[in-house]
Amino acid sequence: MKYGFFEDAKREYVITNPKTPVKWTNYVGTLAFGGIVDHTGGSLICKGDPALNRIVKYMPQLPSSEFKGEGMYIRIKQPDGYKIFSPFFVPTLDHYDKYECHVGLGYQRIVSEFYGIRTDVTIFVPPGENVVVRDIKVTNLGDELVELDVVPVVEFTHFDALKQYTNADWVPQTMTVDAEKNADGTVLLRQYAFMKKQYENNFFTSNVPVDSFETDRKVFLGDNEYGTWANPLELQEDHLSNIEARRGDTIAALLHKLGEVAPGETKRIVTQLGQDEPAKVTETSKKFRSLEAVDAAFAELGAFWDEYLSKNWIETPDAAFNSMVNIHNPRQCHTTMNWSRYLSLYQLGLGARGIGFRDSSQDVMGVLAGAPDEAKALMRRLISVQLPNGSAMHQFFPLTMEANEGDSREEGDKQWYGDDHLWIVQAVSAYVKETGDYAFLDEEITFYSKELPLAEREKGTVLEHLRRALEFTRTHTGKQGLPLLGFADWNDTVNLHGDAESVMIASLYGRALLEMIDLMEFLGDKTSARAYRANHAHMKKVVNEVAWDGEWYARYFEEDGTPIGSKENSEGQIYTNAQSWTVFSGFADEDRALQALESVNSKLNTPCGIKLSWPGYDGFDPAKGGVTTYPPGAKENGGIFLHSNPWVMIAETMVGNGDRAFQYYNQINPAAQNDTIERFECEPYCYPQNILGDEHPQFGLARNSWLSGTSSWTYQAAVKHILGLMPCHQGLEVNPCIPAEWDGFKATRKFRGTTYNIEVKNPDHVSKGVVSVTIDGEAIEGNVLPVFTDGKAHSTEVVMGVMVEEEQSQESQKMVLAEG
């Protein structure tokens, strides 16, 4: 790999060349406290809400060579002054002998060698704490004594992130830093916007004596800021100014004089950047001055990931698949569950965004095995912004739980998204299947109201919330009988006016109904099961009568009945989601499913992934909305919108095409981008949201890494559908759909307290079909592993093979489960 390599044994990706095509990032901490650290040490840290409580000024739009948020300088004393360099390469850009950024699970470790000095810095948020720790070790690799100074620096932002960018004079007029010198020589710098003085203070401190400090960027850079971050003029002085800034661009720089460092000798400094109530800051800042506390916290972080990843471990013949499924993909799922679409180098994180109802409902499904409690807590918050009529607010701010409808609309347009509420049905269903926590369905949660205070809001059980979600869609249909689009569905950018209708919402509704039928039958509520089955059959009929276009399903209908995503259209003739979801919902019978998926393959697939639609709209059309603001091939306008790719993989497994499902998996696997990384540009260890499609001159260029529903769905496609380890109400179903050439695979799956050591054998080289299952040597009926209460590990052998006719027909019946 040109820029680095995977080191699976340490669960890291190691970047060895700092000049990556764009900044490659990692996440530390959680939304409660944490943020992004880039591969050259820059950081963007927030507490609780990136828009409303941002700590560090990270400007992604500045060139990659610029100082962003946080950095560090090392000075080597020389007879004629100081040799100054950044061990993070940026912003001084010196020649390095070694550069390694270890992208770890919840930590970033940067190891570099410049001018005979090795610097090894581990950056992480101790679990549950409101500080970022930078554990800095500096080693003299040379043969002679060197006199070294270490100067870590943070640049603060106004807490209201958007206000900082407005450049209003009153922002710098409020920014303040106070300094406290401790008896042991350590220094604590407190920073706040004036109105936060009594409420929350940011702080920056270290665990060793400080020679001097700086808090005013203008003084640090020098020469009226004609000094630069690449060469801060104040660093040529023996001491920093010790100024406590009372306005302006506030920073925190601590000059540590390490004195003489002998050959081979290492010195260690720990810095903390945190936030707390003013009265607690002094006490809080003491905790990680202790090296033992730092080491223990880092071990605790590792233990969290050990536990999280231990729920599902696989060994297949494909190393890149193993690496993604065992480490990087579940890790990304945890990150998306945490941050929703709120903070990355590409997501807004500034103004009215918050946590997305649709997005987070999908994210939840990616973490259920490893983090069920976190998932449940997030679902409670999501459900609490569902409206009494069953639809949902589009997003909410996590600090205030204030919810809103999302993007602004033109007068007369609908105020709701047609799909949001349906995703939570799938999320809750997946949660109870994974955990067996059926009591959650009885938990009472309020419905949202803008007008009523919390105590006066209507309450309903979780199950009631799900029922109302389905009822909203059942009762909001248009002339064709399909669900109304509202302002938009999953595709935010197709904004049709009036009573437009959506085939994707119909299919989402169909899938949600299948989940409810299954649940009702398991709970013994036959009446509800029957009613939901009738609703499913009805919508299936409508979709097949109205939306089948000959070789694929149309995607939308305008109010006057004009189809979109039909061969009648010259642009936007075919849309991926109308094909995958009609299969996933059980609406497409086998012939149509195969035909629709063939059309996806022939019209939408590229070597870089499946496009969302084709051909792209070539010019702005207010009647279609946002999709036409992009050039053809970009984002939702015929770009390779990765989120939609796993849905096709899933659909392919449902028709038994394991080879194609795996081909689709591989072509978007970022870990397999070795040869194309120069055009791909993004991180190889996480999925991006989009890749430019083949109608665009920069076909293959990826953007918007990390926070994408691609993560949860690709993980689900891989584990539940390709490997076929599918939680169901009765136990763990094993029904793989793999490349026929595989001899099989092994998996360790911890499910509802039982550990299954599973070996799947594929002697006949089929893609799908289970002919026998044994547990601890005993054959069982069917392919659902029962839940054991003995807490022991159970070894399971699954043999794949050609199914006899009767078994096959049972299998295809499952595909259209609702008909049963």
Active site residues: 492
Give the number of residues in contact with ligand IFM, rule: CB under 6 A: 9
Question: Which residue, 341 or 433, is less far from ligand IFM as judged by CB?
Answer: 341
Query: Which two three-digit tokens encode residue 36?
Result: 């992004």
> Interior CA angle at 416 toward 515 and 54, to 5°?
95
Q: Supply the DSSP string of 683-709, one letter for each residue.
A: -TTS-EEEE--TTSTTTT-EEEESSST
User: Which of residues 633 and 739 has its CB atom nearest to ligand IFM in the complex?
Assistant: 633
Which range, of 260-268, 297-305, 351-359, 565-573, touches ligand IFM by CB under 6 A?
Answer: 351-359
The full length of the chain comes to: 820
Euclidean distance between CA atoms 616 and 283, whole angstroms: 58
- Cβ closest to ligand IFM, residue 341 vs residue 414: 341
Nearest to 604 by CA among 687, 660, 520, 656: 660
| CB closer to ligand IFM, 124 vs 346 | 346
DSSP 699-748: TT-EEEESSSTHHHHHHHIIIIIIS-EEEETTEEEE--B--TT--EEEEE
Helix (H, G, I), strand (E, B) or coil at 313: strand
Which CB sits closer to ligand IFM, 630 or 756? 630
Q: Of the candidates 71, 356, 366, 631, which one interacts with ligand IFM according to CB under 6 A?
A: 356
Q: Which amino acid is at 220?
A: F
Alpha-carbon distance 556 to 774, whole Å?
47
Strands across the sheet containing 784-785: 725-728, 731-734, 784-785
DSSP, res 780 = E
Site for ligand IFM, residues 385 to 414, rule: CB under 6 A: none
Give whichever of 151 and 686 is closer to ligand IFM, judged by the CB atom.
686
DSSP state of 221: H
Q: Which stretch binds ligand IFM (CB under 6 A): 352-360, 377-385, 554-562, 752-760?
A: 352-360
Comparison of 564 and 732: residue with beta carbon closer to ligand IFM: 564
Question: Of 179-187, 356-364, 475-483, 553-561, which segment contacts ligand IFM by CB under 6 A?
Answer: 356-364
CB of residue 647 vs ligand IFM: minimum separation in angstroms?
12
Among 47, 102, 358, 720, binds ligand IFM (CB under 6 A): 358
d(CA 538, CA 20): 53
Closest contact distance (angstroms) between CB of 492 and ligand IFM is 4
Q: Kindly tell me which of 249 and 492 has the beta carbon lying closer to ligand IFM.
A: 492
Instruction: Determine, following the binding rule CB under 6 A, whether residue 739 of this chain makes contact with ligand IFM.
Output: no
Pairing of strands 131-140, 117-124: antiparallel
Touching ligand IFM, residues 19-58 (CB under 6 A):
none
At 68, list the tokens: 């962003």
Cβ neighbours of 376 (radius 10 Å) = 18
Contact, 584 vs 654, CB < 8 A?
A: yes
CA distance 365 to 430: 7
In the shown chain, the binding pattern of residues 464 to 493 toward ligand IFM, with x for contact by CB under 6 A and - for none, equals --------------------------xxxx
Integer Cα distance of 76 and 235 in angstroms:
11
Helix (H, G, I), strand (E, B) or coil at 215: strand
Is the separation of the CB atoms in 484 and 556 below 8 Å? no
Instruction: Kindly identify the residues of this chain, within the stretch 633-672, that bind ligand IFM according to CB under 6 A.
Output: 636
Find the shortest distance in angstroms from Cβ 74 to ligand IFM. 41
**161 — phi, psi (to 5°)?**
-60, -40
Cα four-point dihedral sign 582, 588, 591, 592: negative
**Minimum separation from the CB atom of position 68 to ligand IFM (A):** 25
Residue 161 Cβ, how far from ligand IFM at the closest point, in Å? 20
Q: Between residues 208 and 427, which has the closer beta carbon with respect to ligand IFM?
A: 427
d(C-alpha 273, C-alpha 156), whole Å? 10
Select the span of 48-56, 182-190, 207-215, 354-362 touching ligand IFM (CB under 6 A): 354-362
Task: Quote the least distance from Cβ 303 to ligand IFM, whole Å.
Answer: 33
CB of 347 to ligand IFM, least distance (A): 9
Least distance (Å) between residue 125 CB and ligand IFM: 26
In the chain, what is the straight-line distance between the N-terminal and C-terminal CA atoms, in Å?
51
Rounded Cα distance between 379 and 427, Å, is 8
User: How far is residue 657's CA from residue 34's CA, in Å, rounded to a whole number?
Assistant: 42
Minimum separation from the CB atom of position 640 to ligand IFM (A): 13
In whole angstroms, how close is the CB of 53 to ligand IFM at the nearest point? 23
Does 359 bind ligand IFM (CB under 6 A)? Our answer is yes
Closest to 558 (Cα-Cα) out of 484, 656, 468, 457: 484
Structure token pair of residue 108: 């970033």
| Inter-CA distances, 602 with 388, 660, 747, Å | 44, 12, 34
x/- map, 608-637, ligand IFM, by CB under 6 A: ----------------------------x-
Using DSSP, state whether 150 is helix, strand or coil: strand
Nearer to ligand IFM (CB atom), residue 139 or residue 711: 711
CB of 426 to ligand IFM, least distance (A): 14
Q: Which of 561, 703, 679 is nearest to 630 (CA)?
A: 703
Compare residues 25 and 491 and give the one whose CB is closer to ligand IFM: 491
**Under the criterion CB under 6 A, does residue 796 sit at the interface with ligand IFM?**
no
Give the span between the Cα atoms of 462 and 431, in whole angstroms.
12
Stretch in the footprint of ligand IFM (CB under 6 A) among 217-225, 355-363, 444-452, 718-726: 355-363
In whole angstroms, what is the distance from residue 785 CA to residue 757 CA?
Answer: 11
Question: Given the complex with ligand IFM, which of 250 and 637 has the nearer CB atom?
Answer: 637
- Residue with the closest Cβ to ligand IFM? 492
Q: How many CA atoms lie within 13 A of 497 on its CB side?
A: 8
Of 515, 398, 406, which Cα lies nearest the Cα of 463? 515
Cβ count near 242 (within 10 Å): 15
Q: How far is the CB of 604 from ligand IFM (least distance, A)?
A: 16
The whole-angstrom separation of Cα 5 and Cα 123 is 20
Q: Which is nearer to ligand IFM, 427 or 766 (CB)?
A: 427
What residues does 726 pair with on adjacent strands? 733
> Least distance from C-beta 393 to ligand IFM, angstroms?
13
Q: What are the residues binding ligand IFM (CB under 6 A)?
A: 341, 356, 358-359, 490-493, 636
